[in-house]
Amino acid sequence: MSDTYDIVVLGGGPGGYATALRAAGHGLRVALVEADRVGGTCLHRGCIPSKALLHVAHLADTVPQLVEFGLAVAAPGVDVVTAGQFRDRVVDHLHRGLGGLLASRSITVIEGWGRIVEPGIVAVTDGDGDGDGDGDGETRTLQAPHLVVATGSAPIDLPDVTPDGERILRSDDALRLERIPQSVVVVGGGSIGVEFASLWRSLGSEVTLLEIADRLLPLEDPDSSKALTRAFAKRGIGVRVSTGLAGASSTEGEVVVETSDGGTITVDQMLVAVGRRPATAGLGLEALGVLSDRGHIVADAFGHTSVDGLWAVGDVLPTLALAHAAFAEGFVVADVIAGLDPDPVEHRLVPRVTYCSPEVASVGLTEPQARELHGDQIAVTTFPLAGNARAMIEGGTGQVKLVCAKDGTLLGGHIVGPSATELIGELGLATSWEALAAEVGAVVHAHPTLSEGLREAALAAAGSPFHAHT
């Protein structure tokens, strides 16, 4: 059978469904092809289930503080079955809501594996919905003048290390959380690695974190990396930077991890979290000549490839692999197809967030990036949250760092501390509007709040510090 649409979107993750919803809102006829479940990795195997479990971990962290605050509590413990049920309830609720939203916009959702036969034509196999791509179900052909590839990404495996789902894990395996490991090595100090290291430590595991770069969160500002490393050390997380994985062997009861400096660590489990790769193989893209050597789709700032009518959004692009970046890219693609004239996504202004404890968030330029672009014509201000009343009440510490041009224009903001992932929105707005530090400092913030830390940093950057030492 053959169906004709205005747009066919391959992939039902954040980038794909954002494109579909936006395009449908413009009155376009849209088909969304998904081999598994709409919502993609973010909803089912990434952002949402991990943050649900990190919320459980956060609550576990607060239990020791309760006695200090005068509350009598029983000895803490974690029921992984109940925690897993909470995780699944959140995911299921959002999945049902997304399905209803797509239906309400008259978007045709097709279960199966889509492959581009030629520009404008997609063959969908495995219509039985089991998602294995074996083509044992109904085959149908979709036609549209615009095809959008939004198939996301998959975990990167290391050479000579074979995840088994029991002792040597990928992030997908770790999220199932059937038990809390007594000891664990996390390989990779990016966002995924530090979040799992934080999660397991909060739940009682002995954690060692290996990162081949010279610091955790290499994409963040160096001072944020230092602050997080100090906080992890206080929590008892072993951090070993400039240290890679040389090998690992799994037995029935343990994993022997060999490090690049010649050492060995014997643990209960090991997580490989060294990044993700674009899921672009098997889609027919090789024949169209739109893939880079690393498997990303090559496209312009609006997501359009060199093939007329072929677009890309999300992790298949060499941009920030973040759900909210994919949302924004999907909006732009849908708007352009609908004949509008949107601005492209300014990825420098996309917030970067990591939900470990303490949280880390940033937007705009890091200090090294600002110095590379502006030389010495920048000013850097750091305000410690130890002096913030709300942070003190909640038992949190951290810092706010602002990177400004000499005239006070905000170039970047970096937060380490409680609720950093929520607070970064204000700095994102100020940075995107090219606000001056003095303008941010002039905005009255409620007291006592964590957001006061942003104002304090801005006041200090504008040369009028309040509680900050001069």
Q: Which of 124, 129, 102 is nearest to 113 (CA)?
A: 124
Catalytic hit among 347, 414, 445, 447: 447
- How far apart CA 387 and CA 124 sit, in angstroms, is 58
- How far apart CA 17 and CA 11 sit, in angstroms, is 8
Determine the residue type at 84. G
The structure tokens listed for 283 are 């889609």
Q: Which of 26, 28, 20, 29 is nearest to 102 (CA)?
A: 20
Q: Which of 86, 85, 88 is nearest to 96 (CA)?
A: 88
The Cα angle at residue 208 between residues 202 and 212, in degrees rounded to 5: 130
Q: Are 184 and 270 in contact (CB under 8 A)?
A: yes
| C-alpha 458, offset from chain centre | 27
DSSP string, 225-245: HHHHHHHHHHHT-EEEES--E
Whose structure tokens read 């219509």? 127
The structure tokens listed for 398 are 């951290």
Conformation bin of residue 195: beta by default, left when phi > 0, alpha when psi is -120 to 50: alpha
- How far apart CA 297 and CA 314 sit, in angstroms, is 10
Q: In what order do the strands lie in the sheet with 168-169?
A: 168-169, 269-272, 183-187, 206-211, 238-241
- How far apart CA 56 and CA 62 sit, in angstroms, is 10
Phi, psi of 101 (to 5 degrees): -65, -45
- Half-sphere exposure of residue 46: CA atoms within 13 angstroms, side-chain side: 21
Per the document, the length of the chain is: 470
Assess whether 447 carries a catalytic annotation. Answer: yes
Q: How far is CA 76 from CA 1, 63, 180, 202, 322, in A?
A: 58, 7, 14, 11, 34
- How far apart CA 391 and CA 395 sit, in angstroms, is 6
Q: Which of 424, 434, 422 is nearest to 351 (CA)?
A: 424
Q: Which of 228, 79, 45 is nearest to 154 (CA)?
A: 45
| C-alpha 214, offset from chain centre | 21
How many Å is the Cα radius of gyration of the chain? 24
Which helix (H) or strand (E) element contains residue 461?
Answer: helix 452-461
Query: Among all residues, which ones are annotated catalytic?
Result: 447
